Chain A
Amino acid sequence: MFNIAKAICLLLCLSVITVHAETTLTRGDPRIIGGEIADFGDWPSTAALFVTKKGHEEGTYSCGGALIAPQWVLTAAHCVKGEQATNMFVRLGTTDLSDNQAGERIKVKKIISYPQYNEATFDNDLALIELKNVSKIKTIPLFIGDIEEGTPAAVVGWGTRNVNPFTGEGFNPSLQLYELQLPIVGQAQCKLIMEDIRNMGPVTNNMICAGTGLGGEDTCQGDSGGPLMAMQNDEIRLVGVISWGFGCAKPNTYGVYTRLNKFSKWIKSSMEAKPSNDSEDSEGGAIFWMLFPFFALLLAYKARRID
């Protein structure tokens, strides 16, 4: 009799724990985290970065990006760290990654990471990707100057839509692009929360924070490299690049982004630099110029002999 009572009690306890775990799991943390499915065409310049195995056509999605010029995608440096251009391609002009035929698929010609990217602090987390072909998709201009605290901004991504409440880790990536509105957080407030209260950082002046601090809405694993955008002069402009955070969508924390207005000169000069050739071509070119003096001397010698 006692054993039966004990078993019933145990079962009741287990069911209470299960219900509690389920409600914690779903409460306030579905999607990008939070947000809704993005409509096709609302965020046309959003890019999806894919990494392929050597010799394979199919790739796996790793990060987001933003098309800032017809042949240039901006992303996070940590997204391309250790990757070779020949093993990457970018998809543009689609919100649905399950449809392999949708939008454009363009191979990567060259990767330029910001030279002072610090992988121990995530400072200067920025990279440019030069595409092999010109995209026909609408590009996004950079936000000019400093953005004010409290300005509504938008983030989009194919990142994970759910968070494990015990580990703070994202799971269940999305094949549909999700969008979310978040306010820009002032630098002093972000430093206060992230550095002083959370004991993490530093949040440098090359970073910008966004979020409500209430939890339940944030970017998460799979959103890295994607755009943080806001309105300026009646058009959507690129403010930041999704970079890092403490878990996803936790209360009393913010998402941290690369502050693009600190890098506008580098972005411009990198894109204006002499266009690179394909890796094979540039190798061939280098060999040609190395051997050029030899051929010149040979021609001069032959010409003298003919004289």
Chain B
Amino acid sequence: MNRLIILLSTLLTLVSCAGGIKSNPSSLVDTQWKLLSINGIPFEGKSQPTISFNATRASGFAGCNRYFSNYIFTNQGQINFDPIARTKMLCHKRRIRRLERHFIAGLRTANAFSIYNGILEIKGREGILQFEQ
């Protein structure tokens, strides 16, 4: 029985490593990402939001305005972006305004992230943002 448990736990560890789920802070530093989807709805159009990370700061394009935020890792896989500073351009198209609002809200309320199969997922109270490089 004990052997079986050891075998299963080893297998689980191997499977999770092979799957490449990353949620350690260093996996984000010096990376750039483009938005794939918000809450499962794929992004379509020209004004593609982006996010870039350096050691302490995240910045990018929110669809109309640019933004930045100092981010912190509260624990393994946990992340916090609040507060987020933004430029003050006018977003005329309702679709772009809504995109920017959901994107910023997604970041502002984020509390976890993971990278799996080249997809960065940022999750929080306002939903899930998915990015690709």
Q: Is the CB of A160 within 8 A of B90?
A: yes
Q: Give min CB distance, A120 to chain B, whole Å.
A: 4
**Interface residue from A62, A119, A171, A246 paired with B85 (Cβ < 8 Å):** A246
Q: Is the CB of B87 within 8 A of A78?
A: yes
Q: Write out, one digit per residue, whether chain A residues 75-100 have a CB within 8 A of any chain B CB (1) or not (0).
A: 01011010000000000000000000
Q: Compute how far the CA of A75 lies from the CA of B87 in the bound complex, rounded to whole angstroms.
A: 13
Q: Is the interface of B mostly helix, strand, loop or mixed?
A: mixed
Q: Is the CB of B92 within 8 A of A200?
A: no
Could you say which residues of chain A place their CB within 8 Å of the CB of B57? 120-121
Q: Is the CB of B88 within 8 A of A122?
A: no
**Interface residue from B52, B83, B85, B104 paired with A122 (Cβ < 8 Å):** B85
Q: Looking across the interface, which residue of chain B has its beta carbon closest to that of A118?
A: B59
Q: B91 on the interface (CB 8 Å rule)?
A: yes
Q: Write out, one digit per residue, whether chain B residues 21-60 have a CB within 8 A of any chain A CB (1) or not (0).
A: 0000000000000000000000000000000101001010
Q: Compute how far the CA of A224 lies from the CA of B89 in the bound complex, rounded to whole angstroms.
A: 5
Q: Looking across the interface, which residue of chain A has its beta carbon closest to that of B88?
A: A224
Which of B1-9, B12-20, B64-72, B112-120 lies at the interface? Answer: B64-72
B contact residues, range: 20 to 34
Could you say which residues of chain B place their CB within 8 Å of the CB of A135? none
Count residues of A near B (Cβ-Cβ below 8 Å): 40
Q: Give min CB distance, B107 to chain A, whole Å.
A: 12
Q: Is the CB of A122 within 8 A of B66?
A: yes
Could you say which residues of chain B place their CB within 8 Å of the CB of A169? 101, 104
Could you say which residues of chain B place their CB within 8 Å of the CB of A242? 88
Could you say which residues of chain B place their CB within 8 Å of the CB of A225? 89
Q: Compute how far the CA of A246 lies from the CA of B101 in the bound complex, rounded to whole angstroms.
A: 14
Q: Write out, one digit per residue, whether chain A residues 93-134 have a CB within 8 A of any chain B CB (1) or not (0).
A: 000000000000000000000000001111001000000000
Q: Give min CB distance, B3 to chain A, whole Å.
A: 51
Q: Is the CB of B88 within 8 A of A62?
A: no
Q: Compute how far the CA of A120 lies from the CA of B68 in the bound complex, rounded to whole angstroms.
A: 6
Could you say which residues of chain B place their CB within 8 Å of the CB of A224? 87-90
Q: Is the CB of A245 within 8 A of B89?
A: no
Q: Looking across the interface, which residue of chain B has its beta carbon closest to that of A166?
A: B105
Q: Looking across the interface, which residue of chain A has its beta carbon closest to that of B58?
A: A120
Q: Is the CB of A79 within 8 A of B89?
A: yes
Q: Write out, one digit per residue, whether chain B residues 92-124 have a CB within 8 A of any chain A CB (1) or not (0).
A: 100001000100110000000000000000000
Could you say which residues of chain A place their CB within 8 Å of the CB of B97? 171
Q: Give min CB distance, A194 to chain B, whole Å.
A: 8
Q: Compute how far the CA of A286 lies from the CA of B76 in the bound complex, rounded to whole angstroms.
A: 57
**Interface residue from B52, B84, B92, B104 paired with A120 (Cβ < 8 Å):** B52
Interface residues, chain A, CB within 8 Å of chain B?
A: 60-63, 76, 78-79, 81, 119-122, 125, 158-160, 167, 169-171, 173, 198-201, 219-225, 242-248, 256
